[in-house]
Amino acid sequence: MKRLAVVLAAGKGKRMKSKLYKVLHPVCGKPMVGHVLDSIQRIGCERSVVIVGHGAEAVKGYLGDRAEYALQSEQLGTGHAVRQAEPMIGNEEGITIVICGDTPLVTPETLEKLIAHHESEGAAVSILTASMEDPTGYGRIIRGEDGGVTKIVEQKDGTPEELLTKEINTGTYCFDNKQLFAALSKVDNNNAQGEYYLTDCIRILRAEGERIAAYETLDLTESIGVNDRVALSEAEGFMRERLATKHMLNGVTIIDKASTYIGADVEIGSDTVLYPGTMLNGHTVIGEDCIIGPNTEIDNSVVGNGTTIRQSIAADAKVGNSVNVGPFAYLRPGTELADEVKVGDFVELKNAKIGHGSKVPHLSYVGDAEVGAGVNIGCGAITANYDGYNKFKTIIEDDVFIGSNSNLIAPVRIGKGAYVVAGSTITGDVKENDLAIARARQENKAGYADKIRAKAKALKDQNK
């Protein structure tokens, strides 16, 4: 049976008190609506319609062609929101998941179980529910003797007996698609808020003799809808715990979960160890047998197998196998490190390709450069790549030795096997196997240090 989805994402989210549209607030680095769309697409929904309103262009800009869009120009309730999808999918045969865009913790596994329950029950609609010790404020699920749902009772409308029920409506549903829109056509707004409620479909379908089913998730966190920053923080905590558990079960060692942050789209190979203070963000991929951290941040980067990165930052970088980085290195966008490279402390690389086995041990800046294999770049060496207006490239071929405190003024090429003497400022190309030295000749003036000290003392005494 065809699977469809309607994602409710038109609310402004006033309680967030933010310029950022509510469903775009991130949980573990991914906007909430992105988590929701991931879940419904993983269960094979062929068409996903996102209902947008406030911030419509921002939501479309983020999701792009992953979804279709329907505009709810006036906020007239959840039933009214779903009806905006009718011109697009109203005539489709199949089942439709209706889900809120601010429920990032609902999993594909739970949605699959909801659908399976819906089909086995032969229901017109099935409701995803959860049980809470204190369900105050939530709509209660009232079941009949056969286990089917007789009604959903809101807090303000329930009898004392009904309000003892701990099973709540999470706001996620599975409908027969045509029955959904047929019921919506009969929903009115004769209520205090003057809105059209999706939950009225439950009453209408039951009155028509249709079966209303409910599937209870055992994971209460899936019921969280994020309406303010407090709930956002709670969702972040639950998602972090879930992601950490997934990676550990896949063979990753996390020394301290509480101080380790892993984004939703991060991939990590087995036998990798994450030390405290590690932050892995974006579409980062870490290989097997790596050591990451402590206090390391890696964003949108790829790291090979057997690599160690300690107390460093990498952003939009590619790091090979058996590489050693840090402590206190900064791999900026465009950095590519081949296998067995060493990048030491207080080294900054930007748009630089470093070849196999090369070393940049400490206190260096290499930007807009291509460095070959077997190169050693000494302490304090830099590529001067920017003249205030334009960037220029430095090319260092294989097996070159760059002495400490050397300045390579781009554009410049250092030929294979060449040797640049420490303290040199190189402004022209160096040919293969040449030695380059570019510094003033040393001159020692006998006894002159005493004259300098005497002159300095006299000046100090004069200014007292």
382 to 349, 396, 437: CA distances (angstroms)? 10, 12, 15
By the 8 A CB rule, do 52 and 60 touch? yes
Residue 164 scores a pLDDT above 80: yes
Q: Which residues are annotated as a binding site for Mg(2+)?
A: 102, 227
Within 8 A by CB and 6+ apart from 386, the residues are 367, 392
The per-residue pLDDT for 307 is 98
φ and ψ of 108, to 5 deg = -60, -35
How far is the C-alpha of 415 from the C-alpha of 427, rounded, in Å?
14
pLDDT score of 464 more than 80: no
Question: Does residue 191 register a pLDDT over 90?
Answer: no
Most confident by average pLDDT, 18-22, 153-157, 219-223, 401-405: 401-405
C-alpha distances out from residue 464 to 356, 367, 452, 454, 456, Å: 61, 48, 19, 16, 13
User: Angle 108-121/32-42 helices, nearest 10 degrees?
Assistant: 50
pLDDT in tens, 308-362: 999 999 999 999 999 999 999 999 999 999 999 999 999 999 999 999 999 999 9
Question: How far apart, in whole angstroms, are the C-alpha atoms of residue 22 and residue 35?
Answer: 13
In sequence order, the 6+-apart residues with CB closer than 8 A to the CB of 29 are: 263, 264, 265, 281, 282
HSE value, Cβ hemisphere, 13 Å, CA-based, for 206: 16
**Contacts for 208 with CB less than 8 Å, ≥ 6 apart:** none
pLDDT value at 266 more than 80: yes
Q: What average pLDDT does the segment 22-33 reach?
A: 97
Mean pLDDT is lowest, of 141-150, 269-278, 296-305, for: 141-150
Residue numbers annotated as active site: 362
**Residue 79: what pLDDT?**
95
Whether residue 230 is predicted with pLDDT greater than 80 in this model: the reply is: yes
Annotated binding site for UDP-N-acetyl-alpha-D-glucosamine: 8-11, 22, 72, 77-78, 139, 154, 169, 227, 332, 350, 365, 376
Give the pLDDT mean for 279-288: 98
Check whether 13 has a pLDDT greater than 90: no
Q: What is the mean pLDDT of residues 171-189?
A: 96
- Give per-residue pLDDT as tens, 131-152: 999 998 888 999 988 888 998 9
Supply the pLDDT for residue 244. Answer: 98
pLDDT by residue (tens digit) across 361-392?
999 999 999 999 999 999 999 999 999 999 99
Averaged pLDDT of the chain: 95
Q: Does the fold of domain 249-436 match that of domain 3-223?
A: no
> Domain extents for the chain?
3-223, 249-436
What's the confidence (pLDDT) of residue 365?
98
Which residues lie closer than 8 Å to 280 by C-beta, 6 or more apart? 261, 262, 263, 266, 268, 274, 286, 292, 298
pLDDT at 202: 92
Could you tell me the sign of the dihedral formed by the alpha carbons of 157, 162, 163, 165, in that order? negative
Range in 151-160, 194-203, 387-396 the model is least confident about: 151-160
What is the reported pLDDT for 194?
A: 87
Binding residues: 8-11, 22, 72, 77-78, 102, 139, 154, 169, 227, 332, 350, 365, 376, 385-386, 404, 422, 439
Could you tell me which residues are beta bridge partners of residue 414? Answer: 396, 430
pLDDT at 8 over 90: yes
- The rounded distance, in Å, linking the Cα atoms of 311 and 346 is 10
pLDDT the model gives residue 193: 81
pLDDT grade for 55, boundaries at 50, 70 and 90: confident
Say what the pLDDT of residue 156 is. Answer: 82
CB count in 10 Å sphere of residue 163: 14
Q: Dihedral (C-alpha) 19, 24, 28, 33: value to the nearest 10 degrees?
A: 160
- With a pLDDT cut of 90, the percent of the chain lying above it is 88
Do residues 269 and 289 touch, judged by C-beta distance below 8 A? yes
pLDDT at position 218: 93
Q: Which residues are annotated as a binding site for acetyl-CoA?
A: 385-386, 404, 422, 439
pLDDT of res. 88: 97
Closest by CA position to 195, among listed 70, 87, 74 = 74
Instruction: Report the predicted TM-score, pTM, of the whole model to 2 decimal places.
Output: 0.90
Q: The tokens of 340 are what?
A: 């067995």
User: Topology of domain 249-436, per CATH?
Assistant: UDP N-Acetylglucosamine Acyltransferase; domain 1 (2.160.10)
What is the architecture of the domain spanning 3-223? Alpha-Beta Complex (3.90)
* pLDDT of 441: 87
